[in-house]
Amino acid sequence: MDIQWTQIPKLNALHVYGPSTQNTAGIVYDSRDVKKNFAFFCIIGVETDGHLYIEEAIQNGATTIIASKQSIIKSFTLLHTNVSFVVVHDSREALAYTAIEYNHQASDKIFKVGVTGTNGKTTVCTYVQNLFNLLGLPCGMLGTNGIFSSKEMLHIKKSTPTTPMSSDIQSTFSELVKLGDKAVSMEVSSIALDQFRVCGFKFDVAIHTNISQEHMEYHKTFNHYKMSKLRLFSQTKASVVNLDDDGMSKDILQIVQGSSFLTYSQNESSRADLIWTNLYHNDEGISFDLLYKGISQRISVPIYGEHNVANLVAAIGAALLANVPLEEILVVLPDIKQVDGRFQVIHGPEKRKIILDYAHTPVALDSIIRAVKTLTHNRLVVLITGVGIRDSAKMPKMAKVAEGKADILVVSVDHPGYKDPWNIVDDVLKGFSVPYLQEVLTSPMRHEAVKIALEASQPGDIILLTGGNINGSQLVQGKYIPHSDENIIKDYFNNSKLRV
């Protein structure tokens, strides 16, 4: 399509060298992806700077370069007079606005539910997608577990583990619209908000789950982390707010005054719009009372964990704000599905229960351990991990949270990145009391640690495997190495005398 670089709404080009209009066949931020007549955006990242790859992009066929460093741009303008060089204040922001234009405002053609929070984003997004689909509102999803249409997983390369880059978000919206989807749920991380990945459009509903310390390796301070998350609620038409989260709920309520919002809580005295109480746990799921507009409804769902009731109620709030009557929602709730890798229960041999949960923060780990202990079991074996690509300060906190709450703890590593895995294990172990309050086993490799946890189990035990993969892989030395706990579990029992 022809793009007039001085006419894109809100792009605010500071200067354009060369032609102001170019026939543009694609927009990319990685010079290796550039093809003939593409526009290349020079993104300044944590480890590299797109301005270093301008010549490579031009040699690969770029006819437009969008950059924020004018002094560097000038050196190329005399050498490539047929190339458009667009100087902007921030290339990430420019990419977001250009992506909206390039994809013909696809973000305006689909109902968008954005979910932010330290814990629960993936679960809430999946519940929203599942619930909307059950209600006859075809819904896709973007998040840690992948990119999905309402019918299937889409084989679209993820640019980041959680919230894709803005150009990838907009192209995915466009694809979902073409497939006939009417809605999309997506995880919106604090980093994505800080980096303008969801810039330029309004969400129809924004959901808040909770906040606790995370991503300090990026944000440096908790306040910056919190302020980044709060941005979501300045660009939404309606909101769902968790009153039980003291860390951010009051700030959100100040921002959303004057717009539509629903609150939710497990506290009957909170005066929230949606209140859930009287939980009953069993091996088939959870029953609870849901209070809405003064009427209480008893609900039974095949999900596990008190924290997941809160996540489900948040998704119900999104459906209500999509103008779906509660009566219609109640009809389909018994068909809601458990989320892969989020309190995912696998029934093993001799009444073992293997539970997969992505818990990778101290708060999430505490919640999932408390939740699994409500299920019938003999002993509890728990795998906890340190994450090499995350804030190392939280690693000993993982041990401290789990200490004394299981019969056996296995300590290992997720996504070591460029770090020595044994150093990560040692950082976690620093959180334990000495002597240990339970048996502690260690491994520097997750695939081995899963086997150790299974080997340590006995009939009737629960084996809780926390942490886990990103997009079916572990990040090691800059490479994504395929990994699946489910495959390891299946192979382990198939190769032993026991059978799943």
Task: Give 30-41 pLDDT, tens digit per residue.
Answer: 999 999 999 999
| Cα→Cα distances 392→100, 357, 361, 423, 478, Å | 37, 20, 11, 10, 18
Digit-coded pLDDT (tens) for 176-188: 999 999 999 999 9
Domains of the chain by range and CATH? Answer: 2-102 (3.40.1390.10), 106-335 (3.40.1190.10), 344-494 (3.90.190.20)
b/e 117-139 (16+ beta carbons within 10 angstroms → b): bbbbbbbbbbbbbbbbbbbebbb
Instruction: Give one word for 286, left, alpha or beta, with left for phi > 0 and alpha for psi -120 to 50.
Output: beta
Please tell me the predicted confidence (pLDDT) of residue 498.
66
Contact criterion met (CB below 8 Å) for 381 and 407: yes
Q: How confident is the model at residue 343 (pLDDT cuts 50, 70, 90)?
A: confident
Q: How confident is the model at residue 492 (pLDDT cuts 50, 70, 90)?
A: very high
Neighbours of 253 (CB within 10 A): 16
CA 21 to chain centre: 37
Contact criterion met (CB below 8 Å) for 112 and 201: yes
* Residue in the structure block whose two tokens are 């919002």: 261
* Residue in the structure block whose two tokens are 């919230």: 163
Q: Which one-letter amino acid corresponds to residue 238?
A: A
* Residue in the structure block whose two tokens are 């910056």: 224
* Residue in the structure block whose two tokens are 């466009």: 174
Neighbours of 178 (CB within 10 A): 10
Residue 208: strand pairing partners = 116
Q: How confident is the model at residue 18 (pLDDT cuts 50, 70, 90)?
A: very high
Digit-coded pLDDT (tens) for 231-266: 999 999 999 999 999 989 999 999 999 899 999 999
Please tell me the predicted confidence (pLDDT) of residue 470.
66
d(CA 57, CA 64): 9
Instruction: Give one word for 491, left, alpha or beta, with left for phi > 0 and alpha for psi -120 to 50.
Output: alpha
Q: Where are the beta strands (DSSP E) in 136-259?
A: 139-143, 146-148, 183-187, 205-208, 238-242
For residue 407, what are its two tokens? 């019969």
| 139 has a pLDDT exceeding 90 | yes
Neighbours of 416 (CB within 10 A): 25
Digit-coded pLDDT (tens) for 161-177: 789 999 999 999 999 99
Contact criterion met (CB below 8 Å) for 238 and 261: yes
Find the helix packing angle between 362-372 and 395-402, rounded to 10°. 20
DSSP string, 288-333: EEEEETTEEEEEEES---HHHHHHHHHHHHHHHHTT--HHHHHHHG
